[in-house]
């Protein structure tokens, strides 16, 4: 058992990898559609052990809020950057405080660290 654990884990042991998301402070602006508001985040994946990230949106009490995006769960290959637009209904846009991206890990891949970065809407 010791060998199995060590073999699986050592594959991922000594490599620096990063989850990067900008901007730290978001602006929500009217979109091209009436009563729909939008914001945009930029992601850079420097985690070679992660291929997918998931977007979540929360209010100030960390309750989930509905949103629309073409890439709610999106693939972002290693060392690639991507900009993602997120849309809200007018009544939701006023409540949005945090927009987060979280790494999605493969089950049993030996990965030890899950990362989440949250940007904030400052009012």
Interface contacts to another protein, rule CB under 8 A: 1-2, 4-6, 8-10, 12-25, 47, 49, 98, 100, 105, 107-120
For residue 117, CA distances in Å to 7, 8, 75, 104, 114 come to 30, 27, 17, 13, 10
Nearer CB in complex with another protein: 80/116? 116
Q: Whole-number minimum distance, CB 30 to another protein, in Å?
A: 23
**Residue 36 vs 65, nearer CB to another protein:** 65
Nearer Cβ to another protein (48/94)? 48
Residue listed under structure tokens 């009436």: 34
Give dist(CA 101, CA 57) in Å, integer.
Answer: 9
CB of 76 vs another protein, minimal distance in Å:
15
Extract the tokens encoding 39: 């914001």
């Amino acid at each position: 058992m010791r060998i199995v654990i060590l073999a699986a884990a050592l594959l991922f042991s000594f490599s620096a990898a990063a989850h990067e998301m900008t901007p730290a402070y978001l602006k929500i602006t009217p979109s091209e559609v009436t009563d729909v508001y939008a914001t945009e985040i930029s992601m850079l994946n420097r985690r070679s052990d992660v291929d997918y990230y998931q977007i979540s949106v929360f209010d100030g009490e960390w309750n989930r809020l509905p949103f629309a995006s073409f890439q709610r769960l999106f693939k972002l290959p290693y060392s690639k950057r991507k900009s993602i637009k997120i849309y809200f209904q007018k009544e939701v846009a006023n409540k949005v405080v945090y927009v987060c991206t979280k790494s999605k890990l493969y089950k049993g891949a030996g990965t030890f660290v899950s990362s989440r970065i949250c940007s904030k809407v400052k009012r």
